[in-house]
Chain A
């Protein structure tokens, strides 16, 4: 059904329900102006909407009713007749609505009789008075009113008696009808009136009998499918869910520190339920982006007329949903940008023909989801940005020197349209547009944690790309540290993470007092978080050399910090921090009004361990340091990256590092628990292996296959992998970066510790096999697992089409005490299972697979008598409540996220235990 129509129906049915209640009151107290006013307003609204939607029959009826009520409102005495007729017209309206809900069109027929009565009454006559003129007008009312009204509300008024009598089929003569039509003061067409009586009289008499049935049908059809909920209620619900998420995180944090706790399983379940609840509540706040686009076609049409251009507006992905709050905020910027594209981006028709383009200019608006963000693109096939004019303007506004300009790429120059000061009035005319309020657009988008980018090709057109978070309430943030202080940086602003090292290629250098970093042959301006937050710098570290002389060491150059590369609009800069902890999903809480004057923070949040930390606002930071930050070093690569992203359907976050050789190595970031740096002097060799104290336990250190070499002194970066309470550290030379990429592993020469190679940023990169190292760290890995659980080793069948996941998960599952057999697809799995159904104890299956997907696989198993009993657990990278529901339906025992190793192991254990009990 048309969205507009269904909305109208929901709304109107709700209004009518209110009217019903009001009418009961009205009947008792016909002179109460308030009640009448209420009813009048509701009917008026219905009338207005009907006219808008093109529903003439409803409109006419509502209009007549409104007129009468208007009279009453103005002080005309209210009669019982009047009330009855109003009630009747409302019933007729309901009937028409019921029909509408079912067939999406107004029912045939008309309500002239009712309307006539309404008119008679509004002229101040009684129905009896009118008898002379329109004696039978009321009579035919019910006949003509198509599906006819509810007759339960009749009273003994004379008019109604007439109606009742006349309602009986056969009593209406053609003459009567004709007279009625002719005398009825309705907007009746004579010819139609003459033609219709027979039709009206003949088929309709059956109507009264059908009334009861009609009532039933009406009630059913008009049952609202959606309800209106106060936004405040939703907001409050969201707040409560946020609290729940926090509490859940805290519980999980406590659990992580304890071994084998009886709370583990229920908590895991609580965790899942919370996640689903969170998603559900978020969904209630979601609205299709199309709501923000509604006005655009009209705007484009008007522009097209005003400018005498032919413009075609294409809108793709209007159904893409995003948070109500976000939607409100981007509405205006979007309208502005579309207007700009049509106005300034597109050439005039003459110019287009001259340029050999199609006469009709195209403005395309598209929206789609991409990894927790929504991307909106506005593109035109117009002339593109006018680079020379922008340059002129840059120089005029002293935004850059001619020297700087000459070194900039065209793309960098284009980005100046987002700069403040580009929106002065004369820009509108002198630069070929685009400057108009673009900085306002940018500010608005950045306000909600989004960013905007543009690509323009001269003569081909421009594309603006807006990236905004789906919701403002929960964001993914990088937790960084300075000394003991922790801060959160919204992940959206973080481009990459660079490890700075005194002796590596990433070295922090100083020009006068400004820090810079050479990053891919460009200079990245740096600021120290401790400086910008005016934190006290720790006293210089004093060290003694061999002779016992004290050497003060200048720590101000922090040679060994981490650099968080931030992009805010056209600005890219690095923030130097001491430590980088986790990425965490944080619930943004507004900061206290006492802190509102600090631009550097956008809010605060409670971490899993219960402590409160401040959330850094990249925008505030950017404006603070904009004096010394202007250049842009990574954007070209960014564009390249984002273009690739667009086509990649699934990306994986990888941690890039170097160990031993010069080739970069990578490991899925989700497998890494922490990045740590340990002092070499803390490493204690013991029984042929290196150990280090870590969080109150001894953590074994491992080396990449073939590179058993530790640094001589200083600090050693280590990747920490944890499983339950055990951690192992993998010694690496250098942590390079964290990137999101479409992981495409090509398995090659089998080499221990390496899953295969993938092409990452154009460089062959080894993907590390964590599973290979885990058992190395703990010889007792297997025994430990079995001590507590004295069951025989269960045999598990792992079905996944991706070699990467098969290779990654089998060691994990083996480590958890299972005997793992793998199958590359359900077909192979079914063959194995059918060969010997008793061989396996449990099946773990991927969902997205070619040939046969996981759901189908589970159904097949369920149909097989011999295999029906076999527990099966789903494994998927896409977890949605819908998928989980479907999973349950087809017989999956549990549903686990692909990278959630803990969850998988727990789910397996739980499933087998339940099975054991059942058996």
Chain B
């Protein structure tokens, strides 16, 4: 990630909210933000996989971030959003609650994961930014997508 940082040691993040917590995704890793329409569930798939959907002719695998983080499911009828990610020529959509603004964050406010972080969270988190009012957890996209591996572990 550091190689993507610009001169003054700051990096841009798209902020998203999952179960009340603020998360950040490196902006260069995010393709687009969309509202998923019909998601086809995939039987036998890992619990975290919400299903597959058609995004402009591409088949996108949707990952339910609440389940990925092991937090309770969203309320019925709550509007959901998705962040589109491209990884190894495949398309993924991270299903989240809401998308916020783009923040330019200074690396001097960055810290590694606190040691007492829930293992499920520590598994997908690349570290934490101390913002003025709250904390922002940086999602490591590669680790988020490594569902099969983390299941086995």
Which residues of A does B touch, CB under 8 Å? 243, 246-247, 485, 533-535, 589, 592-595, 597-598, 600-601, 604, 606, 610-614
Contact = CB atoms under 8 A, between A and B. Distances in A.
A593 B148 CA distance: 9
Interface in B127-153: 145, 147-148
Contacts of A533: 43-44
B1 interface: no
B61 to A, nearest CB: 4
A593 B59 contact: no
Given A592-B90, A594-B49, A612 B59 contact: yes
A600 B59 contact: no
A158 B41 CA distance: 82
A527 to B, nearest CB: 14
A105 to B, nearest CB: 50
Nearest to A605: B59
13 contacts: A243-B57, A246-B57, A592-B61, A593-B88, A593-B90, A594-B49, A594-B61, A595-B42, A595-B45, A595-B61, A606-B54, A612-B59, A614-B40
Given A611-B54, A612-B53, A594 B44 contact: no
Interface string B96-108: 0000000000000
B57 A592 contact: no
B38 interface: yes
A600 B148 contact: no
A594 B40 contact: no
A240 to B, nearest CB: 10
A614 B57 contact: no
Contacts of A243: 57
Given A533-B44, A612-B53, A614-B42, A594 B147 contact: yes
A598 B44 CA distance: 7
B129 to A, nearest CB: 28
A535 B59 contact: no
A550 B33 CA distance: 50
Nearest to A243: B57
Contacts of B52: 592, 595, 604, 612, 614
A163 B63 CA distance: 78
B71 interface: no
Contacts of A589: 59
B46 interface: yes
Contact of B46 (A246, A247, A594, A604): A594
B64 to A, nearest CB: 12
Contact of A606 (B41, B51, B59, B88): B59
B49 A595 contact: yes
A597 to B, nearest CB: 6
A594 B45 contact: yes
Nearest to A246: B57
Contacts of B54: 606, 610-612
Interface in B23-60: 38, 40-46, 49, 51-54, 57, 59
Nearest to B145: A594
Contacts of A593: 88, 90
Contacts of B51: 612
Contacts of A485: 40-41, 43
Given A246-B57, A606-B57, A612-B59, A594 B43 contact: no
A253 to B, nearest CB: 13
Contacts of B61: 592, 594-595
A534 B44 CA distance: 7
Interface in B66-87: none
A31 B125 CA distance: 58
Contacts of A595: 42, 45, 49, 52, 61
Contacts of A592: 52, 59, 61, 90, 92
Given A610-B54, A611-B40, A613-B40, A598 B59 contact: no
Contacts of A613: 40
A623 B63 CA distance: 28
A352 to B, nearest CB: 54
A822 to B, nearest CB: 44
A598 B42 contact: yes
Interface of B: 38, 40-46, 49, 51-54, 57, 59, 61, 63, 88, 90, 92, 145, 147-148
Contacts, number: 61
A785 B44 CA distance: 50
A270 to B, nearest CB: 16
Nearest to B147: A594
A611 B38 contact: yes
A612 B40 contact: yes
B53 to A, nearest CB: 6
Nearest to A247: B57
Which of B44, B46, B88 has most chain A Cβ within 10 Å?
Answer: B44
Contacts of B44: 533-534, 598, 600
Contacts of B53: 612
A486 to B, nearest CB: 8
Nearest to B46: A594
A393 to B, nearest CB: 35
Given A594-B148, A600-B43, 6 more contacts: A247-B57, A485-B41, A533-B44, A592-B90, A594-B61, A614-B42
A600 B51 CA distance: 15
Contacts of B57: 243, 246-247, 606
A56 B59 CA distance: 57
A693 to B, nearest CB: 24
A592 B63 CA distance: 12
Given A246-B57, A604-B52, A606-B59, A597 B148 contact: yes
Contacts of A598: 42, 44-45
B59 to A, nearest CB: 5
A535 B43 contact: yes
Contacts of A610: 38, 54
Nearest to B48: A594
Nearest to B146: A594
A604 B59 CA distance: 8
Contacts of A535: 43
A303 B42 CA distance: 50
Contacts of A246: 57
Contacts of B40: 485, 611-614
A719 B110 CA distance: 66
**Chain A CB within 10 A, most for which of B42, B45, B63, B92:** B42
A701 to B, nearest CB: 31
A879 to B, nearest CB: 26
The listed residue with most A CB atoms (<10 A of its CB), out of B43, B52, B63, B88, is B43
Q: Which of A243, A535, A600, A614 has the most CB of B within 10 A?
A: A614
Nearest to A242: B57
A247 B58 CA distance: 11
Nearest to A611: B38
A614 B57 CA distance: 15
Nearest to A607: B54
Contacts of B43: 485, 533-535, 600, 614
B41 to A, nearest CB: 7
B43 to A, nearest CB: 4
A533 B41 CA distance: 11
Contacts of A612: 40, 51-54, 59
A593 B87 CA distance: 10
B16 to A, nearest CB: 20
Tell me which of A243, A534, A598, A612 has the highest count of chain B C-beta atoms within 10 A of its own C-beta. Answer: A612
A351 B21 CA distance: 82
A600 B42 CA distance: 11
Q: Which 10 A-B pairs have the closest CB atoms?
A: A533-B43, A592-B61, A612-B52, A612-B40, A598-B44, A612-B54, A606-B54, A243-B57, A589-B59, A610-B54
A108 B53 CA distance: 68
A243 B61 CA distance: 18
A247 B56 CA distance: 9
A905 B39 CA distance: 37
Which among A247, A594, A598, A600 has the highest number of chain B CB atoms within 10 Å? Answer: A594
Nearest to B38: A611
